[in-house]
Structure 1
């Protein structure tokens, strides 16, 4: 009976107002926002959500929020909601019922509306110093904001805002003389202009398809729309609603909050004339799986029902292609491709009400796996045809190779020094193609990468254009050093937006000097913020200087990818030496809003890097070796630091109270700026100094003066201060004893006999890709890995090395292997046992042909015993 009454009441309501009241039982709903299956609203003290498809009086309370006299709108950014309540609060509404919101800014002034533009938070409100002045301001910190534009009307009458690109529209709620204004946020001096005046009590506003939809907050109010120019008629949508407030549009459905005395709640009206905002996917990218298949992936589109992927032979019209339809995930596999053929791939979105986006920008690729792609050779001494086809005919200029290289190819560079220009400080080595691998360290005669002997043939990318650098150890003195500050390259490697998934291996990158301007950041290597993946292996980054943030590697990530694809920064077996800046001198990395990044730094030495004040007016923050940060809502950063050595690094910054600095910084810009979780294992911190303190010993890892990471765990590591600092959430098997380097004064950080770092690491923490220490020796020796970058007592590790070889005619092939490993031997096999590098037995067989397809990628040992009891032990790599 109750159900029948409810249905009858719902029908009457629907017939009377030509809208459906989908939610009731709420007092005074104001702002409104649709996200996925829910409608969120504010009632001046709480954030509440309803299921958008149900007629219901039930709701879920998200959290209690302190009351405010203002606080009119909600702003959605990905799965994050921002609310103007006693400052600004934000809450992640994805998944389960969210927790209590996090403060974005504390202010004493009044805030009425909030919005997000260009990855930054803005609000309308009163001047913090004068409540009678009305302003648009941008949030710069938890307690700070900056002026953007004056508002021509009282902020307490500004009730909602909407964006069209860089144009902000806002309503002035007045009974008979209401107005809609616009401000161009990209202008040098943004200023408010009237779009439409004489409107009756406008309240909520929403932009879509060149029109501004707004509510009229009258007893018999309505949904209305006008062209964004303000020209033409005002159109009426639907039937009257009592005192409508906030408005949001999802496809063809318009949702409105009503504070009407008897029929308040949430209303939904379907406008068949409304075209949903259906956009093409962005950031389409590919992964070549094998000779005939490639995986295509993209960023998800809000409101998408499915996607179509079309691929054609390169240059052909998209209408002639093969299309895969109805894809409900954000990736698909193209199969049956022709090896060596070149393709263009397009993706489009299918949205609600049978609307479809245009095609995305296409991506182009050649269906070749990495081993099939051509090698381009570079040798500055080559005297042949210089077309890059061989060592004899190598390019003599690296930039020629970078311009010529195709997507997915390799560049091999012979020993020697290479410069981007003879005299132009602005010139850089530009990475223009994706999936390029650049290898250095060749003598210029090698036929395979395994023939390269790292450490004997230095390939140097140098910014010392005049070959006259004489570096000094003090940052201000080196910054003003006349041998480098007027002629060195500003930057060396520039990874452009089309340089996705670059590998740098075996290069020395040195002597950048970034003094181009008062705001320029970065030094030797700079990366476009849209790039997802970057890997450095076997590289030396040294003697780079920058006026501001970072001198070595600047790796900022701004992906705006709410679907969650993870980016990666991988650094293996590298050295960062004598890099100087004001903060994050060796490595500076941050993740902005809706950006997920995995950072892995392994077997890497950080020696004599400096973070310091440049002058009394240009002070530094610290983090001489690295600063890893989460600085945007919904960002997620995982940090794994394994078997590194940090020595002789200097902090000399005075921005914070003495003792707040740290050699390595891991932090969040603010409490609500995403999540960052870090693990440090098998590492040594020793001899690092803070010159602003009497004791001089610096914290090894901390959050500087920022918000703490969500977690920071340290295992099996050495620090002379025993890892103090409130950023650290867990410690296990740590040590503060002298690691006993062989000769630290002369930069020999190998271990002496009796070092507490020997055989005290944790083998399980080492990534499977790591098989060698920094000298190329076997990484795990004598059963347990050592702490730091060097393995005590170990020897050079090569794919064809034997252990305890009693019979030299035993070989295994192919090595590396993918699916099968064969044993070649003169005698009969009794048995073969395969062990993981950690010493675990993984299989045993009596066959000379071993199936390895079920093994994980990594290094393995195989113990081979013949019928006479003779044993040979070999290494092999499973790819």
Structure 2
């Protein structure tokens, strides 16, 4: 027993010495543009001049610190085809390469990579002439545990192969962080090509990259489990599919908190999700465009989940192609996502489904095309869909976004989406916070039941419940609502008259109201309704009818529909009380600027009598 114990001690000691020695051998190699490759790279004073030299000297566990400036894979002018094939090559495990130093730092935390721009450039030949540029700038193959952090990677021109800015293959546990990958060109994956590798992309920007075929920004082919987080894809383009990103036959890729802005392709302006397991969470898709599938083209199977994402003003140029999504032979699950104002130049379908059965839960689909969703066999539940869609809990009602001067897709207090989502969120696997970082489950004050809201945003305030018996109108309201309160007031009296039912009241705040916004529609009038009381004279804060002051808060119904200030071309009659009985009430208004100067029309049309009020 004693002998065995001593053997264990020897083994442990040997292991400790091994790891201690390995730690001692790890070093920092320094690179500066004014360094010298004959130096040993041991400090800033003895820095290498090229990153290539540092990569040749690096051993597992080393770090490479690179000072601001521009670095090239090879020095040539003119450059041959052989030299164009030169790249910065990472072929050593567990090394970390950091850019963004000014050349004096002693701690990694002292660097400012945003201030000290460190560029890896493919513009190796004639400056500004891309035809002789490096085909691939950074090549990472058959390694693990590599970090690349704090660089601008730009200027690759790879006409015949994949991977312009970066080509990653058969590697694992890679971290690409704080990178600006811009103006690169390749067959696939203009910014980045990933074949069979697992990696994390964090806090990066892919801008203005191009692919001859697929994946202008990035292209994943048979890639392993990966994470893309807090990354922006902007102005990328593909002549094939996936303007920003393209995934083919890849394992689970989690894409969280990313933005896709103004990317374009023939198919899938923002992305192609092809036979891959993808989870999109808290992502924003804006102004992406394609011939088909303005934002995402989802095809050929794979387990795709889209949760708490926003699709806004993406568009396509072909009829029926799907202004936001085109889903073909794939069954994605889409939860608590908002689709608004995506459009098709042929004004056909917002989400187009073919040979597929997607599921939509707690979503908002509003003002996207002539049809919000068409084709296939979609399941839609607890969602707002314009013009309606069959399914449990669905609503056809304006979601009443907080529009204001700039579009904000948060819900207003009047929104029918509040507390209207699926009462059972079991299995939806939603995060604790919504798209804005507010609590995902919030019981809006004024509603009896605590339920999740529809859409990507959870309303955080006091809601206005139910259909009102009194509708409120205020021409000065900032965010027009459903008329259920002063805060959610309608802006136009005609809107209130359109929805009022017998027994309702309409309260109208001080201001000027016109029977139409069409300056040539002289026959337009405010038509009174049986058993509907219309009251003017409110300031816009009252809770009791007795609180109004009609003298102080003048409420004007004006026939000056063309805004000329005189009577020419005005409404023939401002108010029309024809066909109603004594239950119709109009109280507290100034009625002015009618002009019944026409000829008598059919059905007793008030064109020559009753300029203020016509009753027949």
Contact 2:67–2:118 (8 Å) recurs in 1: yes
Distance apart, 1:465 and its partner CA: 1.4
Deviations 1:308-366 (A, max 9, x none): xxxxxxxxxxxxxx99xxxxxxxxxx9655456379xxxxxxxxxxxxxxxxxxxxxx6
Contact 2:94–2:145 (8 Å) recurs in 1: yes
- Structure 1 residues 730 and 375: alpha-carbon distance in aligned structure 2, compared to 1, 3 A threshold: same
Equivalent runs, 1:414-453 vs 2, <5 Å:
414-423=67-76, 424-453=83-112
1:725 matched to 2:366: no
Distance apart, 1:757 and its partner CA: 6.4
Q: What is the CA–CA distance in structure 1 between the aligned matches of 2:28 and 2:339, rounded to whole Å?
A: 48
Q: Which residue of 2 aligns with 1:341?
A: 18
Q: Which residue of 1 aligns with 2:568?
A: none
Q: Which residue of 1 aligns with 2:228?
A: 601
Q: Which residue of 1 aligns with 2:287?
A: 687
Q: Which residue of 1 aligns with 2:573?
A: none
1:465 matched to 2:129: no
Distance apart, 1:445 and its partner CA: 1.4
Q: Which residue of 2 aligns with 1:89?
A: none
- Structure 1 residues 512 and 637: alpha-carbon distance in aligned structure 2, compared to 1, 3 A threshold: same
Distance apart, 1:758 and its partner CA: 7.5
1:532 matched to 2:169: no
Contact 1:385–1:394 (8 Å) recurs in 2: no
Deviations 1:440-494 (A, max 9, x none): 111111122211223111110000114632xxxxxxxxxxxxx211x11111111
User: What is the total number of aligned residue pairs between the two structures?
Assistant: 342
Contact 2:433–2:439 (8 Å) recurs in 1: no
1:708 matched to 2:284: no
Task: Tell me which of 165, 173, 181 is aligned to 1:541.
Answer: 181
Distance apart, 1:432 and its partner CA: 2.0
Contact 1:713–1:728 (8 Å) recurs in 2: no
Q: What is the CA–CA distance in structure 2 between the aligned matches of 1:710 and 1:580, rounded to whole Å?
A: 27
- Structure 1 residues 716 and 521: alpha-carbon distance in aligned structure 2, compared to 1, 3 A threshold: closer
Equivalent runs, 1:581-592 vs 2, <5 Å:
581=211, 582-591=213-222
Distance apart, 1:505 and its partner CA: 0.6
**How big is the alpha-carbon RMSD for the aligned residues of Structure 1 and Structure 2?**
3.7
Q: Structure 1: where are the runs of 5+ without partners?
A: 1-321, 324-333, 344-365, 470-482, 558-566, 613-620, 631-635, 654-659, 669-675, 740-750, 767-778, 789-879
Distance apart, 1:429 and its partner CA: 0.8
Q: Which residue of 2 aligns with 1:513?
A: 157
Q: What is the CA–CA distance in structure 1 between the aligned matches of 2:147 and 2:119, rounded to whole Å?
A: 16
Q: What is the CA–CA distance in structure 2 between the aligned matches of 1:521 and 1:459, rounded to whole Å?
A: 24
1:643 matched to 2:268: no
Distance apart, 1:554 and its partner CA: 1.0
Deviations 1:627-681 (A, max 9, x none): 1121xxxxx7112111111111111x3xxxxxx544211112xxxxxxx322111
Q: What is the CA–CA distance in structure 2 between the aligned matches of 1:679 and 1:685, rounded to whole Å?
A: 15
Task: Tell me which of 255, 271, 277 is aligned to 1:664.
Answer: 271
- Structure 1 residues 605 and 738: alpha-carbon distance in aligned structure 2, compared to 1, 3 A threshold: farther
Equivalent runs, 1:315-394 vs 2, <5 Å:
337-339=14-16, 341=18, 367-368=22-23, 373-382=26-35, 386-394=39-47
Q: Which residue of 2 aligns with 1:37?
A: none
Q: Which residue of 2 aligns with 1:97?
A: none
- Structure 1 residues 449 and 392: alpha-carbon distance in aligned structure 2, compared to 1, 3 A threshold: same
Q: Secondary structure at 2:225's aligned position in 1?
A: strand
- Structure 1 residues 335 and 715: alpha-carbon distance in aligned structure 2, compared to 1, 3 A threshold: farther
Task: Tell me which of 366, 390, 395 is aligned to 2:48.
Answer: 395
Q: Which residue of 2 aligns with 1:735?
A: 338
The structure carrying a bigger strand percent of its residues is 1
Distance apart, 1:421 and its partner CA: 0.8
Q: What is the CA–CA distance in structure 1 between the aligned matches of 2:137 and 2:65, rounded to whole Å?
A: 18
Q: What is the CA–CA distance in structure 2 between the aligned matches of 1:753 and 1:538, rounded to whole Å?
A: 33
Q: Secondary structure at 1:403's aligned position in 2?
A: helix
Q: Which residue of 2 aligns with 1:550?
A: 189
Contact 1:738–1:756 (8 Å) recurs in 2: no
Contact 2:269–2:288 (8 Å) recurs in 1: no
Contact 2:289–2:295 (8 Å) recurs in 1: no
Q: What is the CA–CA distance in structure 1 between the aligned matches of 2:301 and 2:287, rounded to whole Å?
A: 25
Q: Secondary structure at 2:53's aligned position in 1?
A: helix
Q: What is the CA–CA distance in structure 2 between the aligned matches of 1:758 and 1:441, rounded to whole Å?
A: 38
Q: Structure 2: where are the runs of 5+ without partners?
A: 1-6, 77-82, 315-322, 343-402, 413-429, 441-454, 457-616
Contact 1:338–1:367 (8 Å) recurs in 2: no
